[in-house]
Amino acid sequence: MATEKTQPHPEVRIEKDSMGKIEVPAQAYYGAQTQRAVANFPVSGWTMAPAMIAAMGRVKYGCGVANHDLKKLTETGKNPLSDQQVQSLLAAAQDVIDGKLNDQFPIDVFQTGSGTSSNMNVNEVISNRAIEIDGGDRFAEAKSIHPNDHVNMGQSTNDTFPTAIHVAVAVEIKNSLLPALTRLEQVLIGKAKDWDRIIKIGRTHLADATPLRLGQEFGGFARQITLSIGRAQKALDAVLELPVGGTAVGSGINTHPEFGQRVATSLAEQTGIPFIEALNHFEANAQRDGLVDCHGHLKTIASTLFNVSNNIRWLSAGPRCGFNEVVLPTRQPGSSIMPGKINPVMCESMMQLTARVMGNDQTLTICGAAGGQFQLNIMMPVMGHTTLESVALLASGTEAFIDFCAAEMEANEESCNAAVEKSLSMCTSLNPYIGYEKAAELAKEAFKSGKTIRELCIEKNVLPEDQLAEALDPMRMTEPQM
C-alpha cells in the first residue's frame, strides 16, 4: 500500500538549516535556527527588549555599511551582492531599528549564553525582509541575500551580540535615564529655592537635631541627583568600547582589519554616542567587565533614588500624627478598610523598583565574574536583559515620581515651624556662651519640666535678653557664624 505524502500544515512552511528541515510559522520573517531556539527555550516568556532588538539592527546596519565600503559584500566571497541588494539589506536593518519587525523576535532571554540564537534570529529576519524589499521570494529555499554569508559577513555572535548590548544600554541611558534624572534634579532645585526661608528641625539618628531650612534639606536631595547624573554618564562611558571586529575569539578571523573601526564609526553616527573599537579585542570578546562597571553605577543611582524617595516619604508622614512637613499630592485611596487614608504610593513604587535594580546588580556581578571563561562570556543574554531592565525601571520610575509626586508636593510651613521652638537641640547654640556642660543641664531640665529652652533661659536669666535672642534665633542657627 502506497504511503500518502505528508503535507505541512497550512499555517507553517518548511525551512532548512545545517541541521535539516523544520516547520516555521508560514508568514514569519525568521527561519529555521530561530524556530529551533523557540522550541529549545520555553523558559520565562521574556523575549529581547525592543531596545536590544533595535541595537541589533543598528549593528547589522553598521556591518552592512562597512562591508559594502570595503567591497566585501559586492566583490568578494560567495555570491556577491549587487549595490541594489546591499541597499535592500540596509533597508531591512532599518526596519529592525525602527521596531517594525519586533514581533519577529520570539526567543526567550534564557537561551544559549553567547546570544547566538538571537543573532541568527536577526540575521534571518533581515535576510528575508531584504529579499522581499529587493523583489525576490523570501520563501525560496536558496536565499539570494543570505543570513550567514551576507547579513552576518565578517561577524560572530561573540563580538556582535555584546556590541549590541553596549549600544542598547548606552542609547537608553542617553535617551531615557539622563533626561529623567535631569528633570528630577531641576524639580528638586526649584523646591529648594522656593522653600529656602522655611525653618524646620533637623533629625539625626531619627532624633531631634539643630534647625535647618527645608530648602537646605531639599538642596541636599538635589545634590544627590546631580551626582547621580554624573554616575549615569559614567555608566554610559563604561560601555563605549565595542567588541565588533573580534569575531569568534578576538583574533578577527574572517573579517577586514578596518571592519571594527568602521562599524564603531557607523554606530557613533547613528546614535550620537562616541563609540570606539575595543582597544583589545581579546578582552572585549572574553569579558563583560564594562557592563558590570556600568551596572555598578546604576545600582548607586538606585540606592540614591531609594534614599531620596524614602526621606520624602518620612517627611510626609501624618497628616496629624507624624511630621507632615511635606504634603504629597493625593493619588489614590490608601486603604480598603480605613476611609480617607492616603499613602505615599509614588515613594513606595520608587523604593520597590530601586530594590529590584539593586538586586539586578548581583546578577550582573555573578555573570561577569563566573560567566567569562577563556575567550567568551556565556551569560550575555541575561546580562543585557537585566541591565536594560534596570535602565528602564530607573528612567520610567523617575519620570513617574516627578509627574505624580515631586512636581506637585508642597511644604507645610506650619508643621515645619511648630517643632523648632520645642526642640531641646536649641541649646546647641548656647555652647559658645555658657559651655557644653551647662547647656546639657538646661536641656535635661527643659525635658523634665516640659519647658522650652528659651523659657528656661529667661527664667534663669542665663543670658542678657538681646544676647539670648541672638543665640536662639532659629534662622541664624541654619548657617555658619563668625
For the chain, the average pLDDT equals 95
Catalytic residue among 335, 349, 396, 423: 335
Which whole number is the average pLDDT over 438-454? 95
CA triplet 205, 210, 212: central angle to 5 degrees? Answer: 105
- Per-residue pLDDT averaged across 104-120, rounded? 98
* pLDDT(3) > 50: no
- Per CATH, the number for 12-153 is 1.10.275.10
Residue boundaries of the structural domains of the chain: 12-153, 159-414, 423-477
The model's confidence at residue 332, banded by pLDDT at 50, 70 and 90, is very high
Whether residue 4 is predicted with pLDDT greater than 80 in this model: the reply is no
Q: Give the homologous superfamily in CATH for domain 159-414.
A: Fumarase/aspartase (Central domain) (1.20.200.10)
Tell me the average pLDDT across 231-241.
98
CATH topology match: 12-153 vs 159-414: no
| 251 labelled catalytic | no
SS (H, E, C) 316-380: CCCCCCCCCCEECCCCCCCCCCCCCCCCCHHHHHHHHHHHHHHHHHHHHHHHHHHCEECCEECCH
Other residues' Cβ atoms within 10 Å of the Cβ of residue 217 = 23
In this prediction, residue 2 has a pLDDT band, given cuts at 50, 70 and 90, of very low
pLDDT tens, position by position, 296-313: 999 999 999 999 999 999
Q: Residue 481 — very low, low, confident or very high, per pLDDT cuts 50/70/90?
A: confident
Instruction: Name residue 410's beta-bridge partners.
Output: 327
State percent of the chain over pLDDT 90: 95
Nearest in space to 68 (alpha carbons), one of 167, 156, 151: 151
pLDDT, tens digit (0-9, with 9 covering 90-100), for 359-417: 999 999 999 999 989 999 999 999 999 999 999 999 999 999 999 999 999 999 999 99
Q: Which of 150, 205, 228, 297 is catalytic?
A: 205
| pLDDT score, position 9 | 57
**303: annotated active-site residue:** no
CATH of domain 423-477: 1.10.40.30
Residue 86 has pLDDT above 70, yes or no: yes
Cell numbers at 454, concatenated: 528659651
- The one-letter amino acid code at 23 reads E
- The predicted pLDDT at position 78 comes to 75
Nine-digit cell at 389? 531592565
Instruction: Give strand pairing partners of 250.
Output: none
